[in-house]
Amino acid sequence: MEKPNTNVSQASRIISEISRDPMGGWFDLPLKFNVQDMARLKITAQKIQANSKYLVCIGIGGSYLGHKAITEALKLNSPTKLLYVGNSLSSRELNKVIAEIGDDDFSVLVISKSGGTLEPAIAFRIFKKKLLEKYGVDGAKQRIYAITDQAKGSLHNEAVANGYTYFAFPENIGGRYSVLSTVGMLPMLVAGVDTVKLLQGARECREKQLAPENLERSALVNYAFTRHKLYTSGAKIEVLASFEPSMMYFNEWWKQLFGESEGKNEGGLFPASVIYTTDLHSLGQYMQEGQRGMLETFIKFVAPENYVDRVVIPQIDESLTIDANGKNKFLTLDDLQIVTGKTMDYANDVAMEATVSAHDRGGITTVTIEMRDDESQELITERSLGFLIYFFEVACAISAKLNGVNPFDQPGVEAYKNEMQRIFRGLPTEEEMEKAKQEALKKSKTAGPKAKKPAQPKEEPKKPATPEKPKDSGVKITA
């Protein structure tokens, strides 16, 4: 695809709007993270590392995906392992975490602005009970940490009443944009993430990509305008592709970021993701010859010169294949001479180059974002991830603004929550209430004059109705 017609003045205006938005508190975090907050976060992280083998992180959506994306992508060294619950209602997954903890020491970090979201609230109740059983009242209070609203909400009130150590969930930052705030910093510090380099990467992204003199050639701005151009031309899907399996949760964070920011008014590119080369053997056929109208965004990590994980594909020496009697007992018939002596990262790079080329020829528009950190011996670093986090946050906000939607709300998320409350309480649906209303109106019009009823004996109050069993909707297939 040809270079998008980036409107520099429009881009500049949108960036200014984002920075001044009431929910744009994340925009300046790389430059202005509060020093006192960081010092307190580090002290708290050290305390958790000193007394807990596990930190159970309770949260859903942006309250866990961002920091899990970072910690899963990096190779870290910490005495405390992060475990995650409260991101589903699966008792099976929760029991896996309980089993892993066993009798070892643990603490709990609950992240929720209000404390009222069902999934984390249930998990928190369960792990509060376990802390009380293991450590008693005072011990449990010392092992519960919260990130929540600084002034209101059930979790804030409980934290104050019980004396939990808690931090403010910034009121001007939404969950999906919160990874570089206190929401992400505390669990990342516990896991051993170098948050200084993480913020450095984000800061470098801002300085290089958003400087007024760089906007016309900014990869970030051009990416946002490319997405918008494709969307207005009829594209329906964007696929984020990585060739590193440890980026799986980064992909999940990215999907929430774009899905909640743009998926409004029955519009927006649908965000999907793949991990290649694995998914070339499952979705590769569809990507090559399935429906078009897709954008595929590749993240490429370039190995530094002194890459610590470089693996050479070996030649198997003949002496290794001969037994003690001098007879050949082992045959290698894999036909890998074409790559023998090459490195696996070279083979991975060739696979990516070939995939981009094949998909381009197949009619998919591709974008490649290349990351390289020569200050490290690692392929994926805090610095590069910080750059990518900020890159996608700003690009997403610009893209949503170009589409004419608010990047910082998510009204549709409440729909399923309201339905759950209705089912729990045994209440009828809106359709059922309307139907009952129409039937009652119909009866009142057709019925004759009513005779006065004799006085009836006073009845005992009825017990509350048992909540109805959830009704099936749509098509259900039972195996």
Residue numbers annotated as active site: 260, 281, 417
Q: What are the C-alpha distances in Å from 142 to residues 36, 135, 165?
A: 21, 9, 8
Decide: residue 212, CB within 10 A, 0-12 exposed, 13-18 middle, 19+ buried.
Answer: exposed
Q: What sections of 233-343 are H helices per DSSP? A: 248-262, 284-289
* CB-based contact 77:49 (threshold 8 Å): no
What's the rounded Cα separation, in Å, for the pair 433 and 355?
54
Largest CA distance in the chain: 112
DSSP one-letter code for 228 = H
Coil/strand/helix, residue 58: strand
Q: Which residues pair with 83 in a beta bridge?
A: 56
What's the rounded Cα separation, in Å, for the pair 244 and 352?
11
What's the rounded Cα separation, in Å, for the pair 136 and 112?
24
For residue 277, cis peptide bond before it (omega within 30 degrees of 0): yes
Coil/strand/helix, residue 328: strand
For the chain, state the CA radius of gyration.
28
If residue 365 lies in a helix (H) or strand (E), which one and from where to where?
A: strand 365-371
Cβ-Cβ contacts under 8 Å for 406 (sequence gap 6 or more): 264, 400
Q: Report DSSP letters for 99-134, one per residue.
A: HHHTTS-EEEEEE-SSS--HHHHHHHHHHHHHHHHH
* CB-based contact 202:29 (threshold 8 Å): yes
Sheet of 106-111, strand order: 81-85, 54-58, 106-111, 144-148, 165-168
Nearest to 119 by CA among 417, 409, 411: 417
* CB-based contact 253:261 (threshold 8 Å): no
Q: How many CA atoms lie within 13 A of 64 on its CB side?
A: 20
Q: What percent of the chain is helix, strand and coil (3-state, nearest 5)? A: 50, 10, 40
